[in-house]
Amino acid sequence: MSEAKTAEKRTSSTGSRTKRSAKGQRAASGNGATEQSTRTAKKTKAHSTATAPPNTWAASVGAASSKGRSLPREFLMEMASRIREAVAPMVMGAKGREIVGAASSGDATFKLDKVAEKALLNFLKESRAPVAYYSEDAGYTTFTSGPPQYLLVVDPVDGTRAAKSGFESCVISIAATRVIERPRIGDVDNACVMEIVRDRSFYAERGKGARIYNGTGHFHKPKPSTNNDLEMVSWAMTVPARPAELIFPTAAKLIDLTSLKGGFFACNSTSFSLTRLLTNQLDACVDFANRFLRDIPGAVQDQFINAGRGITLGIAPYDIAASLLVAQEAGCAVTDAYGNSFDNVMLLDSSEGNHLSMIAAANPALHEKLLSFFSKRIGQYEQLLKRRAELAAK
């Protein structure tokens, strides 16, 4: 039996609903964002009548726990689908831009984030599953009457700045692990990353590889790029609240080298960028700003605070917990900007001291070249900044 037919037999109710969603989007594609949003809203209403009874998930998750298994893939994808259905009409209509608060990390919370968080909470309340969850806005929460068996690390909308403007570079990110004391990134068992604008999801289970699911529930295995020619590299750099006067001079030579035959893209969602390694749209993605903050904090702290409008922002573990597993299980090479693994990074610590840097590439050979390039450039620029600070102190 072919892989496609095998996947078809495994198609869940989530996949069936997503198929209907995909047809609605294709029909609306030529009629503008308003009509597309209306159709999306209608599909959401139709979905609510087909949702599985709450106890169905409680039994399914409980059975998986009793057998020592990971959370069911269908549970993670159903959760992501619920969030997507709530926010897709807003994204299609470029709505939800209002700032309504601040997350625990200090990052701005937009109205779109609140809608996504509410959809997540509603699903978990209805599911009655023995799970706890951690998110940027809500922190650690549980709804189960007994002790939770699983922990979810959720970013309901990663790439809100793109989402509120109607761009496609936004995803829903869900990572799952067992409830253990002081969980680390390396403890994540399985993960789902779902696109909001397109009908596509990425799923991985540790040690079992990654899959890309389309709207019909069929899947295929990712085939990341084998390119390691720097001049031909298509790559993205994460930029929100990263001091432009630091990151762009550091990356300038690579931007110039790749901008014609490869491609350089400024990105607002690390998870979106990481999943582009699986779709072969990108060869690499980087976020090296935090290395400056760790190496020479006294010389750059003010620049980070200014760029963050009073706070210091960077990659928190919840940002990449799901997409990191997906990328690694697809065969991509991902480390921090020093070349270190993320496995021992505390999963639920979003404080400034636990912020991360990242060098990610579709293949190990390219990763080695990028790590060497940025290590050299960061070192050179840090020496320049130190000399400037010494001269200013005289």
CATH code, domain with 328: 3.40.190.80
Query: What pLDDT is recorded for position 29?
Result: 38
> Which CATH number belongs to the domain containing residue 66 in this structure?
3.30.540.10
Residue-level pLDDT at 279:
97
Residue 100 identity (one-letter amino acid) = V
Q: What is the C-alpha separation between 324 and 173, in angstroms, rounded?
A: 10
Residue 225 lies in a domain: no
Domain assignment of residue 364, given as a range: 230-393
Task: Please tell me whether residues 245 and 371 are part of one structural domain.
Answer: yes
- Across the range 207-222, mean pLDDT stands at 94
Of 220, 249, 275, which closes a domain? 220
User: What 3-state DSSP class applies to 222?
Assistant: coil
Is position 47 within any domain? yes
Q: Are residues 332 and 378 in the same domain?
A: yes
Pair (16, 161) in one structural domain: yes
Residues 341 and 250 in one domain: yes
Q: Indicate if the pLDDT at residue 22 is higher than 60.
A: no
Task: Report if residue 203 sits inside a domain.
Answer: yes
Least Cα distance to 322 among 196, 123, 133, 188 occurs for 188
Is there a domain that residue 124 lies in? Answer: yes
In this structure, are 203 and 81 located in the same domain?
yes
Q: What contacts 97, CB < 8 A, 6 or more positions away?
A: 110, 111, 112, 164, 165
Query: Of 55-59, 88-92, 290-294, 362-366, which gets the smallest average pLDDT?
Result: 55-59
Average of per-residue pLDDT across 40-61: 54
Q: Are residues 209 and 271 in the same domain?
A: no
List the one residue out of 233, 246, 204 whose CA is nearest residue 330. Answer: 204
Q: How much is the pLDDT for 137? A: 74
Question: In one letter, which amino acid is 283?
Answer: D
What pLDDT digit, counting tens, does each position of 163-188 carry? 877 778 899 999 999 999 999 999 99
Q: Examine the domain organization and report whether 75 and 203 are in the same domain.
A: yes
Using CA atoms, how far apart are residues 34 and 325, in angstroms rounded to an integer? Answer: 36
Query: Are 222 and 361 within 8 A, CB to CB?
Result: no
Provide the 8-state DSSP code for 175: E
Same domain, 84 and 216: yes
The arithmetic mean of pLDDT across residues 7-20, rounded, is 41
Mean pLDDT of 112-140: 89
| Structure-derived torsion over alpha carbons of residues 248, 251, 252, 253, reported in degrees to the nearest 10 | 170
Measure the CA–CA gap between 4 and 242, rounded to whole angstroms.
42
For residue 96, pLDDT over 80 is answered with no
Does 364 map to a domain?
A: yes
CA distance 38 to 237: 34
Q: Quote the pLDDT of residue 187.
A: 98
351-392 pLDDT, tens digit per residue, is: 999 999 999 999 999 999 999 999 999 999 999 998 888 888
Q: Which of 88, 77, 61 is nearest to 16 (CA)?
A: 77
Distance (Å) of CA 194 to CA 123, 125, 245, 288: 16, 21, 33, 25
Answer whether 268's CB lies under 8 Å from 355's CB: no
Q: pLDDT above 70 covers what percent of the chain?
A: 82
- The whole-chain average pLDDT of the chain stands at 84
Rg (CA), the chain: 21
Domain boundary among 220, 239, 254: 220
Question: Do both 214 and 236 map to the same domain?
Answer: no
So what's the pLDDT on residue 109? Answer: 63
Do 37 and 175 sit in the same domain of this protein? yes
222 neighbors 279 (Cβ within 8 angstroms): yes
Domain count, the chain: 2
Residue 45 pLDDT exceeds 80: no
> pTM, whole model, 2 decimals?
0.82
53: DSSP letter: P
161 and 15 in a common domain: yes
pLDDT at 174: 98
